[in-house]
């Protein structure tokens, strides 16, 4: 992946961790933005990248009034955190929390709090994301999985396999497009339609309302080996169907969540919405510390492939109206109606 390709991916993901790393400008509007800007996504052919605000301004672009890229980094705290991000990105051995805090002139606890407020991730999570992205890039460029692992900054292959396990594919399987990965699956009928459930050894990786079953799994995991459900997955499918038919609080299933760092933050926040409650996209964006990222939050919700267990159906428009739902607005309304009844019963 080239630098521009990596930057474009960051723009598509609205990756807040890349704020301060580069600026992107849209030729058709004459505006430049931060990577995390929640404005409508431009076409790739209309986008240029710049290292600094000054470069974008010299090229004739003006600052976006939504994300205010010309004001990013104007506070001492932001400058300190930007330096820390650069160290985490560029140093062969990422500094630990104590070292980062000492460089910033802050206590470790205060540094951690400031870092998470500005970046949206803890320093440790940010460093893990950087290293994982470097590994994904190197796997596409290297002929050797082992070389890619150590070039990305991992001290052992076991750590790399553990990190990549959270994305549902080991480094070797990732390099080969998922070949060799085992995904067990089952279909079941619920009151709101048939569902298909898939799971790796790490947890449930797919829950969708669909009548296509195995065909849908092959679309999501084209090179994986598909196997029928074992006893553990069969029990989990029963729990999911029960959650659809008779919703209850406290559902806890092992999940193999696969997404970008931003998407994972949104999906985690979705799981924190109480049964019988709804929030707006703007409220959810605020909850993850990105109040201007409502569009990006909506995009992350749309990419959720774990229906009901990651309850994106509980997010609505600011007016309270239902917005689009991957599995149908009528089904979204039905889920909310069922959950609302449970809430009233428990009062």
Q: What residues are annotated to the active site?
A: 33, 312
Task: Specify burial of residue 123 (Cβ count, 10 A radius: 0-12, 13-18, 19+).
Answer: buried
* Rounded Cα gap, residues 291 and 19, in angstroms: 15
Let me know: does 287 contact 269? Beta carbons within 8 Å: yes
Contact assessment for residue 26 and residue 67, using Cβ atoms and an 8 Å cutoff: no
Q: Are the C-beta atoms of residues 166 and 182 closer than 8 Å to each other?
A: no
Q: Alpha helix locations (H) across the chain?
A: 3-13, 53-58, 76-90, 97-104, 108-119, 123-141, 145-151, 157-165, 171-175, 214-220, 231-245, 261-271, 281-287, 294-302, 329-346
**125-303-128 Cα angle (round to 5):** 15
What is the residue-wise DSSP string for 14-60?
T-GGGBTTBEEEETTTTEEE-TT--SPPPPGGGEEEESSHHHHHHTT
Distance between CA 55 and CA 60 in Å, rounded? 9
Angstrom distance (rounded) from CA 132 to CA 264: 14
Q: Which residues of 91-118 are buried (b: 16+ CB within 10 A; e: fewer)?
A: eeebbebeebbeebebebeebbebbbeb
3-state SS, residue 189:
strand
Give the contacts of 290 (CB within 8 A, at least 6 positions apart): 16, 36, 120, 296, 297
């Amino acid at each position: 992946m080239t630098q521009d390709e990596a930057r474009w991916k960051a723009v598509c993901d609205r990756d807040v961790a890349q704020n301060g790393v580069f600026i992107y400008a849209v030729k058709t509007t004459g505006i430049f933005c931060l990577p995390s800007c929640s404005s409508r996504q431009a076409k790739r052919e209309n986008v240029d990248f710049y290292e600094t605000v000054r470069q974008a301004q010299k090229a004739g672009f003006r600052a976006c009034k939504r994300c205010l890229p010309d004001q990013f980094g104007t506070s001492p705290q932001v400058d300190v955190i930007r330096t820390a991000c650069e160290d985490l990105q560029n140093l062969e051995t990422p500094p630990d929390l104590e070292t980062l805090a000492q460089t910033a002139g802050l206590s470790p606890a205060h540094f951690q709090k400031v870092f998470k407020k500005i970046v949206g991730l803890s320093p440790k999570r940010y460093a893990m994301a950087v290293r994982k992205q470097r590994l994904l890039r190197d796997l596409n460029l290297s002929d050797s999985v082992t070389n890619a692992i150590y070039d990305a900054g991992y001290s052992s292959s076991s750590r790399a396999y553990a990190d990549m396990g959270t994305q549902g594919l080991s480094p070797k399987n990732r390099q080969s497009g998922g070949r060799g990965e085992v995904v067990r699956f089952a279909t079941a009928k619920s009151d709101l339609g048939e569902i298909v459930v898939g799971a790796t050894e790490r947890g449930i990786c797919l829950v969708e309302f669909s009548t296509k079953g195995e065909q849908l799994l092959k679309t999501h995991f084209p090179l994986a080996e598909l196997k029928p459900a074992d006893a553990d997955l069969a029990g989990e499918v029963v729990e999911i169907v029960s959650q659809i038919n008779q919703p209850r609080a406290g559902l806890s299933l092992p999940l193999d969540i696969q997404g970008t760092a931003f998407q994972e933050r949104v999906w985690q926040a979705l799981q924190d919405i109480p049964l019988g409650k709804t929030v707006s996209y703007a409220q959810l964006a605020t909850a993850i510390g990105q109040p201007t990222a409502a569009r990006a939050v909506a995009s992350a919700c749309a990419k959720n492939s774990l229906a009901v267990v990651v309850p994106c159906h509980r997010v609505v428009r600011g007016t309270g109206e239902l917005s689009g739902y991957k599995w149908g607005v009528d089904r979204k309304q039905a889920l909310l109606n069922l959950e609302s009844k449970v809430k009233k019963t428990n009062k």
